[in-house]
Amino acid sequence: AQKVTQAQTEISVVEKEDVTLDCVYETRDTTYYLFWYKQPPSGELVFLIRRNSFDEQNEISGRYSWNFQKSTSSFNFTITASQVVDSAVYFCALSNQGSSYKLIFGSGTRLLVRP
Amino acid sequence: DVKVTQSSRYLVKRTGEKVFLECVQDMDHENMFWYRQDPGLGLRLIYFSYDVKMKEKGDIPEGYSVSREKKERFSLILESASTNQTSMYLCASSLGQAPHGYTFGSGTRLTVV
């Protein structure tokens, strides 16, 4: 079975704090892809990153960084020095052969960054 | 700027009405998807299509149907709207069979009264 768990329903931080959003996935496939999307109040999901299962190198993009650990089936997302504009719902998603490469989403984490 | 366009941002319909949600993409993508988003449940796949006139059921197809007569357009149909179909509906498209990221529309918030 394929499943994505985002245990944090809502997180509230003060601007400039660092925050980590957790994502745990389940799959039996050896080849799979993990994604993070951001959904701002406007509603449109915005693609942030895709990572394949053979690339465990962590990635940094500006204030965003991702930590992929196959040993714990986790793909966590950290925002450094958070800003009010980071307030959004963030979704982690999984795609693999078992799902015919359709995206399977977690339930999302709502991040509120207070000034 | 490439995009996925959903025809309505907000929609209010009465119970029992037949409802059409339209989605158009201009990226020549083969794949199109309809999801609904509910608090605490994330995005759940209703139907998807890999090609014109092709459709496959997702995880929650009951009460819905779809139509894809042209590559760029994917319509979601609520045959007889019910209050439990009040939700945010998101359309997405993607390129080919590879697991590319999806491009999403802005969503349609449907309220059934």
Question: Residues A19-67: pLDDT tens digits?
Answer: 999 999 999 888 899 999 999 988 889 989 989 898 888 888 899 999 9
- Residue A103 pLDDT > 80, yes or no? yes
Measured between CA atoms, the residue of chain A closest to residue B37 is A107
Would you place residue B1 in the very low, low, confident or very high pLDDT band (cuts 50, 70, 90)?
A: low
Q: Could you tell me which residue, A44 or B99, shows the higher pLDDT? A: A44
At B36-69, the pLDDT tens digits run 999 888 899 999 998 898 899 999 999 999 999 9
Interface residue of B43, B47, B93 to substitute, partner A, most A CBs within 10 Å: B43
The DSSP annotation for A74-98 comes to EEEEEESS--GGG-EEEEEEEEEGG
CA distance to partner chain A, nearest, from residue B109 (Å): 10
Mean pLDDT, all residues of chain A = 92
- Number of residue pairs across A and B with CB atoms under 8 Å? 52
- Residue A71 pLDDT > 60, yes or no? yes
Name residues 62-81 of chain B within 8 A of A (Cβ).
none
Would you place residue B14 in the very low, low, confident or very high pLDDT band (cuts 50, 70, 90)?
A: very high
- Residue B88 pLDDT > 80, yes or no? yes
CA distance to partner chain A, nearest, from residue B82 (Å): 23
- The pLDDT of residue A60 is 85
- Residue B96 pLDDT > 90, yes or no? no
Q: Give the number of other Cβ atoms within 10 Å of residue A103's Cβ.
A: 23
Q: Please check whether residue A47 touches B, CB under 8 A.
A: yes
Would you place residue B97 in the very low, low, confident or very high pLDDT band (cuts 50, 70, 90)?
A: low
Percent above pLDDT 70 for chain B: 94
- Residue B98 pLDDT > 60, yes or no? no
Mean pLDDT, all residues of chain B = 92
Q: Please check whether residue B88 touches A, CB under 8 A.
A: yes
What is the β-pairing status of strands B10-13 and B108-112?
parallel
User: Nearest to residue A103, comparing CAs of B25, B87, B98?
Assistant: B98
Measured between CA atoms, the residue of chain A closest to residue B105 is A44
Q: Give the number of other Cβ atoms within 10 Å of residue B9's Cβ.
A: 12
From chain B, pick out residues whose CB is under 8 angstroms from the CB of A91.
42-43
CA distance to partner chain B, nearest, from residue A37 (Å): 9
Give percent helix, percent strand, percent coil of chain A, each to the nearest 5: 10, 55, 40
Measured between CA atoms, the residue of chain A closest to residue B32 is A102
Alpha helices in chain B (DSSP H): none
Return the structure tokens found at B2. 């490439």
For the ranges A99-108, B8-17, B57-66, the lowest mean pLDDT is seen at: A99-108
